[in-house]
Amino acid sequence: MTITLPLFAHRLRWAVPALVLLSFAAQAQEPVIPLQLVAVQFTTLSAELPGKIDRIAVKEGDRFREGQQLVAFDCVIQRAQLDEAQAVLGAAEKTKSVHKRLLELNSAGTLEAEKSASDAAVAQAKLNSARAVTSKCGINAPFSGRVVEQKARAHQYIQAGQPILDILEDSALDAEFIVPSGWVRSLKPGLVIQVAVDEVKKAYPAKITRIGAKVDAVSHSVKVVAEVRGDYPELIAGMTGRVQLPAP
């Protein structure tokens, strides 16, 4: 169909304002910012002594409570050394007591009494050292949470510092997202926002707790952290979603 110039101009006259309105509407929409949920506390538990793992009490995904023993090592030698140190200290304390009494009765010299006291102090130090080593024969949970990954197995011989368990505390999660640096002036700690989580298709309240201290020179953006606190067992670290913020 052929459109005459006057008719085309007439249609264009109505089309241009419509395009402008659509452009303004698109600009007025709240921008959607991607986010990721991360654990507030997470760590890797490692061996402090070389040795063989006797037992791992939890598996991946299991929950545990603070103070619960998660890993036990085969410490037969270390416990025998502790028993020996206790016996040596007992003998040294008896010798110290005897020399002290003899010194009071003028039946022993000062040098002998001082030597026995020194021997008892050395024995006490060795006992303290043996106790410290034996205390590393198990790994207790530093907080309540869940096991993310098991990096070693029972009956495996490991070296000091070798990772055994990745754990996290999931009673509170952080929502991390990036915003343009120009938005920092309108975002303050304590501001309550809504975060929509894709995996569960629900929105949750979150409170901004931290704003990055440095602007990325390339992207001109800043990292923002908001805490999602509440009884939401369906949320786990690693989930993603969106946070809708009004443009400043």
The span from the CA of 24 to the CA of 39, in Å, is 39
Q: pTM higher than 0.75, yes or no?
A: no
Report whether pLDDT(24) > 50. no
What are all long-range contacts of 24-33, with beta carbons under 8 Å and residues at least 24 apart? 30/244, 30/245, 30/246, 30/247, 31/244, 31/245, 31/247, 32/242, 32/243, 32/244, 33/177, 33/178, 33/179, 33/242, 33/243, 33/244, 33/245
Q: Report d(CA 109, CA 188) in Å as an integer.
A: 75
User: What is the residue extent of each domain of the chain?
Assistant: 31-52+168-248, 53-165
Q: What percent of the chain has pLDDT over 70?
A: 84
Whether the per-residue pLDDT at 23 is higher than 60: the answer is no
Average pLDDT of the residues of the chain? 85
Q: Which CATH number fits domain 31-52+168-248: 2.40.30.170, 3.40.50.300, 2.60.120.10, 3.30.930.10?
A: 2.40.30.170
- Each residue of 43-91: pLDDT tens digit? 999 999 999 999 999 999 999 999 999 999 999 999 999 999 999 999 9
Given a cut of 60, is residue 5 above it in pLDDT? Answer: no
181-232: pLDDT as tens digits: 988 888 899 999 999 999 999 999 999 999 999 999 999 999 999 999 888 9
What confidence tens digit (pLDDT) does each residue in 85-137 have? Answer: 999 999 988 888 887 777 766 766 677 778 888 888 999 999 999 999 999 99
Q: Which pLDDT value is given to residue 30?
A: 63
> Residue 114, Cα to own-chain centre: how many angstroms?
50
